[in-house]
Amino acid sequence: MKPEILINLVYIVASVLFILGLKMLGRQATARRGNALSAVAMLLATVATLFDHNVVSYTWIIVGLVVGTVIGVVCARIVKMTSMPEMVALLNGFGGLASLLVGWAEYGKIRAFGWERYLGEFAGTPVFTASVIFLTVLIGGITFTGSIYAFAKLAEWLPGRPSVFRGQHLANGALVILVLVAGVGFSFDALAPLGGLAFWVVLLASLVLGWTFVMPIGGGDMPVVISLLNSLSGLAACAAGFVIANNVLIVAGCLVGTSGVILTAIMCKAMNRSLAGVLFSGFGAAAPGAATASAAGEGEMQGELKPISAEDTFSVLEAARQVVFIPGYGMAVAQAQHVVRELAEMLESNGAEVRFAIHPVAGRMPGHMNVLLAEANVPYEQLVEMDAINPLMASMDVAVVIGANDVVNPAAARDRASPIYGMPIINAHEARTVICLKRGKGAGFSGLENQLFLLPNTRMLYGDAKGTLQSVVAEFKALAAS
């Protein structure tokens, strides 16, 4: 049998395993095996490719494989669970850059070999192959710098607030047009002297575009951005697959691309915002305008912030039979997940029923809170989704809001003037008592005042969430000891 046929048979097996792995990742019981299966598929595809007849020298491949593996293992070992969003963003950026470099290298080969010899190896026509190289570089470049910017925002190396400047949309629009013109020029004659220039324009402009595309997006919208960038890295790989006519690249890249699109849509729906709105509105930067808009609803905003001490919090919780915790990004910042779990266990041994209500966009990436609570050994049966908890909310004695803000802001349901109006929220305000843990008296990430904090049944527990909860736990321990 010809080696090409054997390689393609292995690619088919790998594609099937990728599909099965992804399917199994969607269920709690099989997720871990699904991930392993997907890794096996990757191994098969990688090993099979080493036998491709285009591969004639192995030194640098082996160097690359070893160096990459070592870095990957080290990264995966040392990363903290709270840093998971930025880790995913960083890895995603690497994938995008890798695809960009593949596109670049293939263009170099075309220049060295000429079209005839190149297309004898890989299927295609000059225009088709050049246009998919253009797409690979464009999508890969956007993925790379976009992910790096997202990483820097998530790691708080850059401020999480959206940065907008005058004429930003205009500048972005001009860049997009420039990229498209250069891309079309490149596609029609990649080997002409102007083709080479067009390639450089596409390369540089796509890198700038990735940066400016994430720039105006605020930290609260990060779950959407991360899902979208994830999708793009798959599409970049897919485009590279079309360049070298490789079916496993196309299948795997396309699976990632579409699954990312779905996650993005789920995240947008959870915020009741359109993708265009997230990408182009610079949400939160418009806070001054928003503030005047909600000033109209000032009448119902009346009320005062009522602080509560850790001791009183203990008394309230001690008497409660139904308790729900509502975590947000603040819990991650305060690293409070372990002490929250400890408190939950104490409440349970005190006879209360404890749930955790998870909003789909709480945190900085899809499912962020679930990962943190799982790390703290909270059993996943206690984690309840928004739609499941809201009907029960009125029967809750206490709702403890830990560093969440917009996802529990009743303005989203009541105040038409509010920028987050229409966003589905966890109805914390329906609980008999609401205790909000907050570092200080500032507005939330989106810069909005939270009406929940002003309600008569709300008490504010100020301070670092970890510290204040520790003192509540200490009270419980003292009770148990006495």
Partner 1 sequence: MELILLLFIFALAAFLGFELIAKVPSQLHTPLMSGSNAVSGITVVGAIIAAGTDDGSWLTTVLGTAAVILAMVNVVGGYLVTDRMLGMFKKKEASAGKKEDRV
Annotated active-site positions, please?
406
Q: Does the protein bind partner 1 through residue 120 (CB under 8 A)? A: no
Tokens describing residue 448: 């909005």
Binding range to partner 1, per CB under 8 A, among 189-197, 243-251, 283-291, 322-330: 243-251
Minimum Å gap between C-beta 409 and partner 1 is 20
Question: According to CB under 8 A, which one of 328, 330, 360, 424 is a site residue for partner 1?
Answer: 360
Helices (H) and strands (E) in the chain, counts: 19, 6
Q: Does the protein bind partner 1 through residue 28 (CB under 8 A)? A: yes
Q: Does the protein bind partner 1 through residue 358 (CB under 8 A)? A: yes
Question: According to CB under 8 A, which one of 95, 210, 284, 330 is a site residue for partner 1?
Answer: 95
Backbone angles phi, psi at 156, to 5 degrees: 60, 30
Question: According to CB under 8 A, which one of 6, 105, 181, 192 is a site residue for partner 1?
Answer: 105
Of residues 256 through 315, those in contact with partner 1 by CB under 8 A are 256-263, 266
Q: Does the protein bind partner 1 through residue 377 (CB under 8 A)? A: yes
> Measured at the alpha carbon of residue 378, what is the angle toward residues 372 and 383, in degrees to the nearest 5?
85
Nearest residue (CB) to partner 1, 34 versus 220:
34
Q: Does the protein bind partner 1 through residue 255 (CB under 8 A)? A: yes
> How would you classify residue 114: left for phi > 0, otherwise alpha for psi between -120 and 50, otherwise beta?
left
Question: According to CB under 8 A, which one of 175, 201, 204, 250 is a site residue for partner 1?
Answer: 250
Cβ density class 282-295: b for 16+ within 10 Å, e for less: bbbbbbeebeeebe
State the DSSP string of 240-282: HHHHTT-HHHHHHHHHHHHHHHHHHHHHHHHTT--HHHHHHS-
Running DSSP on this structure, what letter comes out for residue 421? Answer: T
The SS3 call for residue 30 is coil
Nearest residue (CB) to partner 1, 240 versus 290:
240
Nearest residue (CB) to partner 1, 143 versus 450:
143
Minimum Å gap between C-beta 226 and partner 1 is 7
Nearest residue (CB) to partner 1, 297 versus 367:
367
Q: Does the protein bind partner 1 through residue 238 (CB under 8 A)? A: yes
Q: Does the protein bind partner 1 through residue 56 (CB under 8 A)? A: yes
Binding range to partner 1, per CB under 8 A, among 105-113, 199-207, 405-413, 442-450: 105-113
Return d(Cα 401, Cα 336) in angstroms, integer.
Answer: 12
The SS3 call for residue 57 is coil
By the 10 Å C-beta count (0-12 exposed, 13-18 middle, 19+ buried), 444 is classed as buried
Helices assigned H by DSSP within 215-246:
222-243
End-to-end CA, the chain = 79
Q: Does the protein bind partner 1 through residue 388 (CB under 8 A)? A: no
469 and 336 in contact (C-beta within 8 Å)?
yes
351 and 388 in contact (C-beta within 8 Å)?
no
> Measured at the alpha carbon of residue 474, what is the angle toward residues 472 and 478, in degrees to the nearest 5?
120
Minimum Å gap between C-beta 363 and partner 1 is 9
Return the bridge partners of 390, or none.
none
Of residues 57 through 86, those in contact with partner 1 by CB under 8 A are 57-58, 60-61, 63-65, 67-69, 71-73, 75-77, 79, 81, 84
Nearest residue (CB) to partner 1, 54 versus 482:
54
Minimum Å gap between C-beta 416 and partner 1 is 28
Question: According to CB under 8 A, which one of 183, 195, 282, 366 is a site residue for partner 1?
Answer: 366
Nearest residue (CB) to partner 1, 227 versus 433:
227
Binding range to partner 1, per CB under 8 A, among 55-63, 202-210, 314-322, 411-419: 55-63
Backbone angles phi, psi at 374, to 5 degrees: -65, -40
Q: Does the protein bind partner 1 through residue 452 (CB under 8 A)? A: no
Q: Does the protein bind partner 1 through residue 3 (CB under 8 A)? A: no
Q: How far is CA 282 from the centre of its chain?
A: 18
Of residues 121 through 140, those in contact with partner 1 by CB under 8 A are 123-125, 128
Q: Does the protein bind partner 1 through residue 98 (CB under 8 A)? A: yes
Q: Does the protein bind partner 1 through residue 88 (CB under 8 A)? A: yes
- The residue assigned the tokens 């928004």 is 386
Binding range to partner 1, per CB under 8 A, among 22-30, 300-308, 312-320, 459-467: 22-30
User: For residue 402, what are the CA distances in angstroms to 194, 210, 389?
Assistant: 58, 33, 16
Q: Does the protein bind partner 1 through residue 380 (CB under 8 A)? A: yes
Nearest residue (CB) to partner 1, 109 versus 439:
109
Q: Which contacts of 115-123 are long-range, i.e. CB under 8 A and separated by 24 or more positions? A: 115/191, 121/54, 122/243, 122/244, 122/245, 123/245
Nearest residue (CB) to partner 1, 102 versus 331:
102
Question: According to CB under 8 A, which one of 152, 322, 367, 432 is a site residue for partner 1?
Answer: 367
Sign of CA dihedral 301, 304, 305, 311: negative
Q: Does the protein bind partner 1 through residue 368 (CB under 8 A)? A: yes
Minimum Å gap between C-beta 138 and partner 1 is 15
Nearest residue (CB) to partner 1, 88 versus 435:
88
Q: Does the protein bind partner 1 through residue 399 (CB under 8 A)? A: no
Of residues 155 through 194, those in contact with partner 1 by CB under 8 A are none
